[in-house]
Amino acid sequence: MNKVFKNADDAIKDVQDDAVIMIGGFGLCGIPENCLKALVKKGVNNITCISNNAGVDDFGIGLLLKGRQVKKMIASYVGENAEFERQLLSGELEVELIPQGTLATRCMAAGYGMPAIYTPAGVGTEVAAGKESRVFNGKEYLMEYAFDAGFALVKAWKGDKLGNLIYKETARNFNPLMAMGGKITIAEVEELVEPGELDPNQVHTPGIYVHRIFQGTNYEKRIEQRTVRSKKS
């Protein structure tokens, strides 16, 4: 089966309104830039985004928010986006904030075929409201369900035509977990190579989890907080 698509527009063409979509990245690091722009262009509406962050006003998921394409945002930290704040306060946008480790593990559980996980994160807080809990060895844990997402959009450094993926540095973050967790996983890569060109020892996401892959273009890779030290020290 051919997994190779020609570009982002082609790869996301059957993503419909009301879709639940996992979107990889941490802040603006390792986000699927091409797919996000294609979703904006296609004008898919009412989507539920599962992503650690919500981008900034003019980049990443911020572009979808600007076009009011997002119905619900499931994230752990959303502090860098004024339009997000406006939509949240006006009630246009539904937001579910969940602990970062819980978010990651709920993606992982979906890819591991496990319906739920237990975590101590959020015990005794408002995150625990309405959730089933259980005590193991004297410590309380919350039951958290695996995510059920129709699509996962991920970004990798290198990938081959069979969908095997390798990520770079901290741009890995949520990408392999969401790649595992989506029903249809779409990977965009900086470098698309032939099978055999990636060292199997180095593959992070086996191609079985990846349904579509394409060579991304024009990566901006914006830096959110540029911090440097002086050359003297």
Partner 1 sequence: MALDKYKLAQRIARELKDGYYVNLGIGIPTLVANYIPDGINVTLQSENGLLGMGPFPEEGQEDPDLINAGKQTITTLPGSAFFDSALSFGMIRAGKVDLTVLGAMEVSENGDIANWKIPGKMVKGMGGAMDLVASAKNIIVAMMHTNPKGESKLLPECSLPLTGIKCVKKIVTDLAVIEIVNNQFKLLERAPGVTVEEIKSKTAGKLIVEGEIPEMKF
**DSSP H stretches of helix in 29-174:** 33-42, 61-66, 82-89, 100-112
Q: Cα(63)–Cα(61) distance, rounded to whole angstroms?
A: 5
Q: Which stretch binds partner 1 (CB under 8 A): 13-21, 57-65, 69-77, 206-214?
A: 69-77
Among 85, 150, 193, 203, binds partner 1 (CB under 8 A): 85
Decide if residue 44 touches partner 1 (CB under 8 A).
no
* Continuous segment of H or E residues that includes residue 47: strand 47-50
Q: Name the burial class of residue 170, with classes exposed (0-12), middle (13-18) and buried (19+) by CB atoms within 10 angstroms of its CB.
A: exposed
215: nearest Cα among 3, 6, 1: 6
Among 1, 2, 6, 79, binds partner 1 (CB under 8 A): 79
Decide if residue 7 touches partner 1 (CB under 8 A).
no
Decide if residue 172 touches partner 1 (CB under 8 A).
yes
CA angle 211, 31, 157 (to 5 degrees): 65
Among 77, 114, 131, 197, binds partner 1 (CB under 8 A): 77
Contact pattern from residue 109 through residue 148 relative to partner 1, giving x for each residue in contact according to CB under 8 A and a dash for the rest: ----------xxxxxxxxx---------------------
Among 2, 89, 130, 137, binds partner 1 (CB under 8 A): 89
**Pair 190, 165: CB distance under 8 Å:** no
Residues that bind partner 1 (CB under 8 A): 26-30, 52, 75-80, 85, 88-89, 97, 99-105, 107-108, 119-127, 157, 167-177, 204, 221-231
